[in-house]
Amino acid sequence: MAEIDALFDVLLARGGSDLHLSPGYPAMLRIKGELVPADDRVLEHPEIERLLLEILNPVQRALFEAHHDLDFAHGYGDRARFRGNYLGKTTGMGGVFRTIPTTILGMDELGVPAGVRRLADLTAGLVLVTGPTGSGKSTTLAAMIDHMNRTRRGHILTIEDPVEFVHQSRGCLITHKEVGMHVPSFLEAIRSAGRENADVILVGELRGAETMKAALQLASFGILILATVHTNSAAGTIDRFVNAFPADQQPQIRGLLSDSLAGIVAQQLLRRADGRGRVAAHEVLIAASGLAGLIRDAKTAQLTSFIQAGMSEGMQTMDATLLRLVSDGTVAASDALEKALDKEAFAKLPAVARALGDAAPA
């Protein structure tokens, strides 16, 4: 039993999502979105270094010593898996562990919108799941992969750094590849994926212009590509994608993206008003008539109207989703306003303005 396992036990017992270890502080747990100390005992550099290095294999230790940064997955028996990140800083070695549930929640259990289900039934194109760090992108993608695994017959390839959710074959052949262990980079993995007869390819993160372009090209070959990007909205995702390339390449990329983009799911996590955990808010864009033209002509400012017009097809805007969560009492208006894309307009919505007024101190 590793010494750090005692801290993992505390994290799991208290329902936390993350464990932070930093010299000069107690072990910190993220519980329901807030960072709180596990106890009063301050940990110093030598103890943290001992805790963190004990669970690394020789290859991982060599990588950290060479780069002072390491991403990896760690299995804690059959109790949990963690995504670990080790870092070097002025006060010494630090580490962060994110809990990866051992049980993959299905789309029914997550309560994802109908539009996400529709995207999970596609057989080709590029589907981007976006949001800030810790917004549940990996959980949503795992549910989509699980749905495909249960409802179709084919080859699903995942390329991650590190591998998070491990899927058991049900209807599909599942291949997990970890960057740094099985392949040198996301780019090399995507380039070779086209030769591996995959029907669905999950790319843990699209990093850099070359990786983005390679994913677009694979999607144009009739393969379903699922990937993540760190943005907060459908419009912001398209702009981020295009702006990753030099100006002289952007028209070509807009053309490729307009042909291959099948949909975008942007999500954020908010605290529940009753304090019982968090809830996801989704913006869903699905490729439909007219979207290609908006992308090619750089008219992403019109995407909100496009999504509003496509509600019957499973689309929904982020602010409309947040309004529903406020109206039914799931989240506080102030928390929803913090996540809203058009904050000025959102604050003026009658249900929001009323809730904000009721919450204001007398």
Q: What is the CATH number of the domain that holds 9?
A: 3.30.450.90
Mean residue pLDDT across the chain: 92
CA proximity to 155, closest of 101, 200, 109, 112:
200
Query: Per residue in 192-246, pLDDT tens?
Result: 888 889 999 999 888 889 999 999 999 998 999 999 998 999 999 999 999 999 9
CB 293: neighbour CB atoms within 10 A?
Answer: 11
- pLDDT of res. 360: 59
Shared-domain flag, residues 117 and 170: yes
Percent of the chain whose pLDDT exceeds 90: 77
Indicate if the pLDDT at residue 102 is higher than 80: no
Shared-domain flag, residues 119 and 129: yes
Q: How confident is the model at residue 129 (pLDDT cuts 50, 70, 90)?
A: very high
C-alpha neighbours within 13 Å on the C-beta side of residue 349? 21
What is the count of structural domains for the chain? 3
- pLDDT of res. 33: 81
Shared-domain flag, residues 277 and 334: no
Enclosing domain of residue 362 = 318-362
- pLDDT of res. 223: 94
The whole-number average pLDDT for the span 103-107 is 89
Reported residue count of the chain is: 362
- pLDDT of res. 362: 46
Indicate if the pLDDT at residue 182 is higher than 90: no
80 or 126: whose pLDDT is higher? 126
Shared-domain flag, residues 309 and 341: no
CA proximity to 202, closest of 115, 141, 123:
141
Shared-domain flag, residues 307 and 325: no
Q: How confident is the model at residue 113 (pLDDT cuts 50, 70, 90)?
A: very high
Query: Per residue in 234-286, pLDDT tens?
Result: 999 999 999 999 999 999 999 999 999 999 999 999 999 998 888 999 999 99
Indicate if the pLDDT at residue 140 is higher than 90: yes
Indicate if the pLDDT at residue 79 is higher than 90: no
Please report which residue ranges of 80-233 form alpha helices under DSSP H.
107-110, 114-120, 137-151, 186-193, 208-219
**How many Å apart are CA 353 and CA 335, to the nearest integer?**
13
Indicate if the pLDDT at residue 40 is higher than 70: yes
- pLDDT of res. 361: 55
* Domain's final residue, options 316, 338, 354: 316
Q: Which range is most confident: 179-183, 186-190, 237-241, 275-279?
A: 237-241
**How many Å apart are CA 293 and CA 283, to the nearest integer?**
20
314 or 185: whose pLDDT is higher? 314
Sheet strand arrangement including 261-271 = 173-178, 155-160, 200-203, 224-229, 125-130, 261-271, 278-286
- pLDDT of res. 235: 95
Shared-domain flag, residues 249 and 294: yes
Q: Is 81 exposed, middle or buried (0-12, 13-18, 19+ CB in 10 A)?
A: buried
Q: Which residues of 101-125 are buried (b: 16+ CB within 10 A; e: fewer)?
A: eeebbebeebebbebbebbbebeeb
Shared-domain flag, residues 146 and 285: yes
- pLDDT of res. 103: 81
Indicate if the pLDDT at residue 359 is higher than 80: no
* Domain's final residue, options 100, 124, 143: 100
> What's the predicted TM-score (pTM) here?
0.84
Token pair in block for residue 307 = 């999504």
Shared-domain flag, residues 182 and 44: no
- pLDDT of res. 186: 87
Shared-domain flag, residues 161 and 93: no
* Domain's final residue, options 52, 67, 100: 100
Shared-domain flag, residues 180 and 247: yes
314: CB partners within 8 A, 6+ apart: 113, 114, 115, 117, 118, 284, 286
**Greatest Cα pair distance in the chain:** 66
Shared-domain flag, residues 72 and 124: no
**How many Å apart are CA 14 and CA 31, to the nearest integer?**
8
Shared-domain flag, residues 328 and 219: no
